[in-house]
Structure 1
Amino acid sequence: MATITKRKWKTSKGEEREAWVLAFTDAAGKRHKEQFEKKRDAEARRTEVTHQVVTGTYRAEAASTTVDDAVTDYLKLLAGRRDRGEHVTEHYYRTVEGQLRNYVAPTEEHRLKQSEKTRIIFDGGIGTVKLSQCTAKVVGDFRDRLRDAGVGVVTTRRILGSLSRALQHAVGNDLLAVNPATNIRVTGKRGEGSKKVTPPSKADLAIALAQARGSLAVRVRLSASSGVRASELYAVRWKHVAFNAGELTIDGRVDAYKNEDTTKSVAGIRQVPLSSAMLAELLAWKEAAKKKEADDLVFPNTKGGFLDHKNILKREFRPLMKAAAAKAKEEGRKFKPFNWHALRHFAISLWIEAGLQPKTVQTFAGHSSLAVTMSRYGHLFPSDTHRNVMDQISPSIFGDGAQMAHDAEEAL
């Protein structure tokens, strides 16, 4: 039976103090005491702990362990797996660490760095909350504070996902009986959090390609042909290019820290058909390459290692956009700059335009589900001959840039 008693005492300065002491016995017959400043808090805890003892879900450690402790323990687990190479990359670890340390159980160092990036200063974390007090309502209120602070739907979902995994780890260590973050939903306004895909026009891509040279030109064409992500492009080796079969195999990626890993999901491992023109350009690129063995990278840096995407954007792609804009202005044409990932959108949108089946587009794009494909790219039209479709698409990438741009403008 749980009882509440008032305790009074005097401080060294003679000041009177009082507190409410909750005393109870767990299922194993062990006595416990917890002290509260307010009677209502003690009564709320008595109701909770009585239910936990009866149902066998009481955990003594939860009264002294905080969410911050659970987060710290979980990050140690991930760091160990990362160091042992057990499916935790440096990029993944830092992403989860950022979500937990910027929002859930913030440290001053992480909080300041996050505010510099997002201009959001978040002080509504739950790091000091005891696990015994971390209920579904506490997590739900935390979610609401995130949204009120301007954190988006998708980011809030990811933060709660990391919190849930940290608390599940605490459950596994017998610090909690039930994960309070399970089934906490994040909703937003209609359309909020959805990704609106805006691929570059054929005319804009043609103008950019007319200014691209060397490796950059090949990379842009391959990305606009196959829809590969930048991280996947940098991991492509010559063994992945099947010239006879006419397809490109994607089975890995390179993260921001130049660590090679598997694709984002199992669905990311795929074969994408290539047009005859793209295969011919890759073959010419291989013949001119210094290293062309099966395990050699198709697009290495000067030392034969992985390309750095940030460096590529700074030194090659953004200057390309400026050069294309300047050329278009000189010729009296319009040009709308686009980012690198838009090349992937360009490829997928052309597949849709050419009539590939929805499931086929999902497979070629490496999306985790058909719902992702449909929500981002809309209705698709059927087609049976994938290789022929790629050949139909290739003039948009390999044709005469000036003529393509002229034709596109004439059609407006």
Structure 2
Amino acid sequence: MATITKRRWSNKSGEHEAWVLAWTDATGKRHKRQFDKKRDAEAHRTEVTHQVAVGTFRADASSTTVDDAVTSYLKLLTERRDRGEHVTEHYLRTVEGQLRNYVAPTEEHRAKQPEKTRIIFDGHIGPVKLSQCTAKVVSDFRDRLRTAGVGVVTTRRILGSLSRALQNAVEADLMAVNPAANIRVTGKRGEGSKKVVPPSKLDLARTLAEAKGGLAVRMRLSASAGVRASELYFLRWKHVSFNTGELTVDGRVDAYKNADTTKSVAGIRTVPLSSAMLNDLRAWRAAAKNKEADDLIFPNSRGGFMDHKNILTREYRPLIKAVSAKAKEEGKLYKAFNWHALRHFAISTWIEAGLQPKTVQTFAGHSSLAVTMSRYGHLFPSDSHRNVMDQISSSIFGDGAQMAHDEQDAV
């Protein structure tokens, strides 16, 4: 039973009054809370009465905020990283950015960001008490993100991090249910589509013709085996089987040059290599200073992991700029492409060669066939799809009807 009583008192500043809400939770513990206005006390009485009745009341939820939950979750991730429990520096910083840029910003976090890239989002929910953090609050937060121009994919990631932070609060018994668990993010038709357009064979050939040394080898391997840049720099000679002509991918290098697991379990894969690519790697190994099984195939000058940002700045972008200038001077068409497009090119050639979608998914290391089809489905030959439909229709039109008639006669 929750009751509201009026309290009056006086002091040197004059007469005062307040409304005191008192109630007992499911464990028999008494609680009190004071309000300046009666309507606020009545509103909170309705809320706690319902929470006690359905068993979702948590005493600390009225004083703990979303910001507190975020802080606790980031502390947990930091401890797990320090213990080496599958939390990398890259993952920790990514989640921290999502939560501190959008969910519960702090001046300390903003001060650490470069002014040019600093994110200012005023629609956050950091001050919201956990007792008031409902699905409606989270869905409204989602809508403010979308209104502010945050994309579908980014919004999903932000809500995913928020959901994990609130789930941590649930496990700490600070709240009974996770209000972000089932919040969906939908966009306009076509928004967030990841269908890709790979570079043309001619544009790639012109680019490779101007590439030299290790850059050329790395580009050819990326464009034939479909490895991501992060996976490329992780490769060691033991990952190449010259006898069977295969490349094994089982790790990557994160943005902070730390060894990491692949993006998903499906990312661990074996990809066949062409004879030309194997010969290219043989020649590269023969000229390498370090060529033992555990040595990196593409080390930096100190034998460690390469820095992809540095490669882009010092080698790749100047190459693309030079090829573009040369094509323009010769009056030829040339469409520049980024490094990741080399992976798109590899996957597009597998599709062109007639590999089945499931095989393409396996070689690409996609987490699901749905990912493969959402990005590359438009590249699969439509004629093959039509042939399949023609085969299916034979059981419906003409031949199918004749088969049924023949079976009836046989009976």
Q: Report the TM-score when normalising by structure 2.
A: 0.89
Matches of residues 211-250 of structure 1 in structure 2 within 5 Å? 211-250=210-249
Rg larger for: 2
* 8 Å contact from structure 1 (residues 236, 298) kept in 2: yes
Matches of residues 129-208 of structure 1 in structure 2 within 5 Å? 129-208=128-207
SS of residue paired to 1:219: helix
Deviation, 1:41, is 3.5
Identity %, equivalent residues: 82
Q: Counterpart of 2:181 in structure 1: which amino acid? A: T
Q: Counterpart of 1:93 in structure 2: which amino acid? A: L
Counterpart CA distance in 1 for 2:376 and 2:336 is: 21
* 8 Å contact from structure 1 (residues 114, 121) kept in 2: no
Counterpart CA distance in 2 for 1:114 and 1:157 is: 23
- The 1:322–1:257 alpha-carbon spacing in structure 2 relative to 1, beyond 3 Å, is same
- The 1:316–1:115 alpha-carbon spacing in structure 2 relative to 1, beyond 3 Å, is closer
Deviation, 1:118, is 5.7
Counterpart CA distance in 1 for 2:244 and 2:35 is: 72
* 8 Å contact from structure 2 (residues 90, 256) kept in 1: yes
- The 1:17–1:128 alpha-carbon spacing in structure 2 relative to 1, beyond 3 Å, is farther
Matches of residues 275-354 of structure 1 in structure 2 within 5 Å? 275-354=274-353
Deviation, 1:381, is 5.5
Matched, 1:209 2:191: no
> How many pairs does the alignment contain?
381
- The 1:133–1:37 alpha-carbon spacing in structure 2 relative to 1, beyond 3 Å, is farther
Give the unaligned 5+ runs of structure 1.
Answer: 383-412
SS of residue paired to 1:378: helix
My pick for the range that moved more, 4-13 or 173-182, is 4-13
Counterpart CA distance in 2 for 1:36 and 1:185 is: 36
> Which residue of structure 1 aligns with residue 4 of structure 2?
4
- The 1:42–1:140 alpha-carbon spacing in structure 2 relative to 1, beyond 3 Å, is farther
Deviation, 1:6, is 3.6
* 8 Å contact from structure 1 (residues 358, 381) kept in 2: no
* 8 Å contact from structure 1 (residues 2, 50) kept in 2: yes
Counterpart CA distance in 2 for 1:132 and 1:335 is: 58
Counterpart CA distance in 1 for 2:96 and 2:232 is: 27
Matches of residues 344-383 of structure 1 in structure 2 within 5 Å? 344-379=343-378, 380=380
- The 1:154–1:114 alpha-carbon spacing in structure 2 relative to 1, beyond 3 Å, is farther
Q: Counterpart of 1:196 in structure 2: which amino acid? A: K
- The one of the two structures with greater contact order (alpha-carbon pairs below 8 A, sep at least 6) is 1
Note the alpha carbon deviations across 1:331-373, whole angstroms, 9 max, x for none.
2211111110111111111111111100011111111111110
- The 1:42–1:264 alpha-carbon spacing in structure 2 relative to 1, beyond 3 Å, is same
Counterpart CA distance in 2 for 1:158 and 1:27 is: 36
Counterpart CA distance in 1 for 2:177 and 2:216 is: 54
Counterpart CA distance in 2 for 1:164 and 1:277 is: 48
> Which residue of structure 2 aligns with residue 268 of structure 1?
267
Give the unaligned 5+ runs of structure 2.
Answer: 383-411
